């Protein structure tokens, strides 16, 4: 999931106005900011299918640190504590791990059964409802989810720009839902997909914060 995560950041920012929007956006993106770095470092592993751009065909072989409910939330707690100290904002200490955990729950709707619960057991339970198996439905539902929550919770001063930004990024991500090409250009090289993921999330956070 991509833009759907950001909608949760708007809810948190609405409920807790002392939480800076950029911290909320980094929090909901945390697992997907950590994941590319760990893949590049060879700590986590994913395999792309060069013949398919579909998200359902990415094999997330091993990603317990970035994408398990328990371990990744614990890591988010450490990062939240650092941000909380740097910004002198106690609320971030509690909210940052919750924001990061929200990422797991939303991912659990779309991912196939590959999301670990604990992250530190060989017999870990893996979950995923597999909405990505239904690419068109997943594309429409994630967009509706983003639009409705943005209209209700996003700051009114930047509402139109955030709706436009979400629409633009969702369209940019369209091929991974609909499989419009028969090859996957992100499968070239080991680092292309992690870098694209990092750029996608990073760019959205920067633009949504500056708008």
Residues binding Zn ion (CB under 5 A):
31-32, 107
Nearest CB to Zn ion, comparing residues 39 and 158: 39
Give whichever of 55 and 158 is closer to Zn ion, judged by the CB atom: 55
188 close to 51: Cβ distance less than 8 angstroms: no
Token couple for 128: 């995923």
Distance of alpha carbon 2 from alpha carbon 38, whole angstroms: 19
CB of 32 to Zn ion, least distance (A): 4
Check residue 132 and report its DSSP letter. Answer: G
Phi, psi of 38 (to 5 degrees): -70, -35
Minimum distance from residue 211 beta carbon to Zn ion (Å): 23
- State the CB neighbour count (10 A cutoff) for residue 108: 20
**Nearest distance from C-beta of residue 69 to Zn ion, angstroms:** 12
User: Toward Zn ion, which CB reaches closer, 102 or 158?
Assistant: 102
CB of 42 vs Zn ion, minimal distance in Å: 19
The nearer residue to Zn ion, 31 or 97, going by C-beta atoms, is 31
């Amino acid at each position: 999931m991509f833009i759907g995560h950001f909608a949760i950041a708007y809810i948190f920012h609405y409920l807790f106005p002392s939480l800076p929007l950029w911290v909320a956006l980094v929090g909901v993106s945390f697992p997907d900011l950590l994941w590319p770095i760990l893949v590049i470092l060879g700590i986590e592993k994913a395999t792309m299918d060069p013949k398919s751009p579909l998200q359902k065909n990415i094999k997330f072989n091993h990603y317990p640190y970035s994408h398990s409910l328990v371990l990744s939330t614990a890591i988010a707690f450490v990062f939240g504590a650092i941000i909380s100290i740097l910004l002198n904002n106690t609320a971030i200490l509690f909210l940052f791990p919750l924001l990061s955990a929200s990422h797991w729950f939303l991912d659990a709707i779309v991912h196939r059964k590959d999301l670990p619960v604990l992250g530190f057991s060989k017999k870990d339970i893996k979950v995923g409802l597999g909405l990505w198996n239904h690419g068109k439905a997943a594309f429409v539902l994630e967009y509706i989810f983003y639009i409705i929550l943005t209209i209700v919770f996003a700051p009114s001063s930047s509402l139109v720009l955030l709706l436009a930004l979400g629409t633009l990024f969702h369209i940019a991500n369209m091929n991974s839902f609909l499989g419009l090409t028969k090859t996957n250009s992100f499968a070239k090289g080991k680092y292309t997909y992690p870098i694209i993921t990092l750029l996608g999330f990073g760019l959205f956070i920067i633009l949504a914060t500056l708008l």
